[in-house]
Amino acid sequence: MDKKKRRREEDEAEDVCSKFVEELDLPDEEKAPLKAQCDARLRKASPKMLYDLESSCSRLVDDPDSIAACIGFGLAHPEVKLAAFNKEMAQKVQFCLTQMDKARKHGDAREYGEFCLDQVPEVKNPKDLIKSSKGYGPPAFDHGTFSSAIPDGVNDLGSAGASPGNSRQPISPTQIKTVRFRLFPTERQIPALNEIFTIYNRVKRSGYQMRFNGESDIQQKLMRICRNNPYVNTILIENTAKLQAQETWLKKMRKYIEGKIEVIQDKINDIKGKDKRDRRLRGLFAKLSSLQNKLRTLKLKPVTFGTKGLFKNRSKGKLTREEFRIRRDASFVCIGKAQGGVKNLNLKILPGNELRIATFKKEKGNRARKIIIPFSANTTKQKAWLQEIDQADKYTVCVKRQITRGDIRYYMYVSYEIPAPTPKHGFGNGAIGLDFNYDFVSLTNVDARGRLLSYQTIKFRNLHSYRKNRRADYASYKMDKVVNYCIHKRKGLVIEDLSFNQSFSYNKKLNRKLSNFKTSMLEILERKCTRKGVAIRRVHPAYTSIIGRLKYSRSYNLSVHHLASYVIARRGLGFQELLPPLHKWLLSQVGGVLKPRLKQGSPYRDWAKLHDLFKHCGITSFRPPEIMKKVSVKYGLNPATGARPDNLRTGLPFPG
């Protein structure tokens, strides 16, 4: 039995090697020695070598040509381990080989060799490129771990974060820091300071109304009112951001209502197919009509400055007119600009712990009148902040006032850029995968080879019942546990790149939980990881739960959420989840019975078909039918890993 098994493995290995040699664009006289070298290599090595080589290359790249090049490189250079070989690098190598062929024909190989060194930094010597162009695979690389190459669909936020999306984003070397100081204006300065609050917010409301109505020449109109260009520029930026947020809300709300309408229409059709006189139809038709009217009348609405709750309290007489104005016109801002050595024109921090504020009144020479207000910076931390602000290129100052214990207090909030700390805990030794849920998070510890080491669950208790500030504190406390887990394991964190669209659910309680989770948890976690030196990556969230349930549930017997976090961690390290051979065989038997939900080029097309097959047949991955167990034993395949097991009795319900 062992001889037959080894012979079968050798035949399959030779077939793979022959296929690789035939795909190379080489003359026949050069293919023969390479084929002989490949066969000799297979005879000396273990039969398992080629399986490991093929699986490693499949995890690193997905293009068949790139996989063939990767396998050829592993066969030609057995003394070197495979490294971060990705599709982009394979394309660069192929381009360099073409350029080197042209260079040899014209006798100018050195120029193109230096160009290739810039295109592919891992290439050590241009001679390697010339040698590899003869059919011996890609040149030698400086090899590292899988985490050194970020696969497509993964965003490496590093220490400073990156915008979400499916493409690779540049890593920002800085981060924004905001600190607070208390101002102490004199009795003579308070009226002038309050006048700035009033005029600034009045111009801000007028500018927003002009922008909302689509008027032109807004900046010139506002300059006639306040005659201060830095304040006007800041107002225009704030109003633009506010209006863009409203437009984003409108798109999400329209999509949310359309999704609800689609769900209700499906329910109506299902009920009509069973019983046209069902009592539930009347309520569903009423809901459908209400949602259609809401969608028809949906449009942008003007915002209420100072919050709706404050306006309602003023309408009910709970607030006086003066108190309402103080709370509504509570801040004014001036964004800094690194120009001519001046970091902020209107709100400048002076060396003696003083803030110079430009008013809207003019002096001789058409210069703005200024007032100087002292602020407190007595603690060691505050003095360190002032040193950082002094070294910054620019800073933004926001002056706020608030009523505390019957007195009006003034504060200064300074935002400036600081160098982002270098992550201390990266992805060299593995990763921590995190799966978000509305009442708990699942963590999975994975090594650099993608193997599961440990798992953890952090639960949220009654998060929806807390008020806003307490909910934020509670979320911060829980996210500290996540970051401490990563620090304890000395690994980076991989999370899903979640979309912030609302869920199509009728349960208001669940919608509120999801909203709280999306808007607060993710931002808090990213800030804490950045502050404590934990590298963080975002990966595409598609089919993580389905892949975990169908591929790994029988191997680990964990919950779906832990399996999803395991898939997320592996995806962040660059591993590609291929279908096990047994599942490929099942899909080949089904043929074109099931209509695929995804396009041909989607990497999750087969997983979607497999999920539909299992759902259609009523099969679960925890207890597959006996026939599937017998098939897995017959073909000698492990459905969890796709590798040949040592014991062919694996999967039997009983020994014997």
- Rounded CA-CA distance 22/157 in Å is 41
Asked if residue 474 and residue 365 are part of one domain, the reply reads: no
Nearest in space to 262 (alpha carbons), one of 284, 238, 242 = 284
Q: Is residue 115 part of a domain?
A: yes
Write down the pLDDT at residue 295: 93
Q: Is residue 343 part of a domain?
A: yes
Number of domains the chain is built from: 3
Asked if residue 467 and residue 409 are part of one domain, the reply reads: no
Classify 407 as helix, strand or coil: strand
Asked if residue 124 and residue 182 are part of one domain, the reply reads: no
Q: Are 180 and 347 in contact (CB under 8 A)?
A: no
In the chain, what percentage of residues exceed pLDDT 70?
62
Pairing of strands 407-419, 347-350: unpaired
Asked if residue 485 and residue 414 are part of one domain, the reply reads: no
Query: Within 10 Å of residue 521's Cβ, how many Cβ atoms?
Result: 23
Q: Is residue 168 part of a domain?
A: no
Classify 478 as helix, strand or coil: helix
Asked if residue 401 and residue 341 are part of one domain, the reply reads: yes
Q: Is residue 589 part of a domain?
A: yes
Nearest in space to 100 (alpha carbons), one of 239, 359, 619, 92 = 92
Q: Are 264 and 282 in contact (CB under 8 A)?
A: no
Q: Is residue 160 part of a domain?
A: no
Asked if residue 201 and residue 332 are part of one domain, the reply reads: yes
Write down the pLDDT at residue 17: 58
Q: Are 51 and 643 in contact (CB under 8 A)?
A: yes
**pTM score of the predicted model:** 0.59
Asked if residue 279 and residue 412 are part of one domain, the reply reads: yes
> Residue 409: CB partners within 8 Å, gap ≥ 6?
182, 401, 402, 403
Nearest in space to 534 (alpha carbons), one of 493, 584, 564 = 493
Asked if residue 61 and residue 27 are part of one domain, the reply reads: yes
Write down the pLDDT at residue 554: 78
Asked if residue 69 and residue 37 are part of one domain, the reply reads: yes
Last residue of a domain, one of 419, 452, 474: 419
Phi and psi (nearest 5°) for 601? -85, 0
Tokens of 33: 């020695």
Which whole-number Å values give the CA distances from 10 to 46, 50, 77, 158, 500, in the listed order? 9, 10, 20, 44, 51
Describe the crossing of helices 64-76 and 48-60 by its angle, rounded to 10 degrees.
130
**Residue 21, domain extent:** 2-144
Asked if residue 102 and residue 50 are part of one domain, the reply reads: yes
Write down the pLDDT at residue 135: 30
Asked if residue 440 and residue 318 are part of one domain, the reply reads: no
Nearest in space to 65 (alpha carbons), one of 53, 75, 57 = 57
Q: Is residue 644 part of a domain?
A: no
Write down the pLDDT at residue 13: 56
Q: Is residue 649 part of a domain?
A: no
Last residue of a domain, one of 102, 125, 144: 144
- The residue length of the chain stands at 656
- Rounded CA-CA distance 100/113 in Å is 7
Last residue of a domain, one of 419, 454, 475: 419
Q: Is residue 162 part of a domain?
A: no
* Chain center to CA of 343: 33
- Give the CATH number of the domain where residue 484 resides: 3.30.420.140
Write down the pLDDT at residue 141: 26
Tokens of 583: 């599942």
Phi and psi (nearest 5°) for 520? -115, -45
322-328 own/partner pairs: CB under 8 Å, 24+ apart: 323/403, 325/198, 326/401, 326/403, 326/408, 327/403, 328/201
Asked if residue 434 and residue 405 are part of one domain, the reply reads: no
- Which positions of the chain have pLDDT values less than 50? 1, 44-47, 76-87, 89, 93, 96-97, 99-152, 159-172, 500-506, 622-656
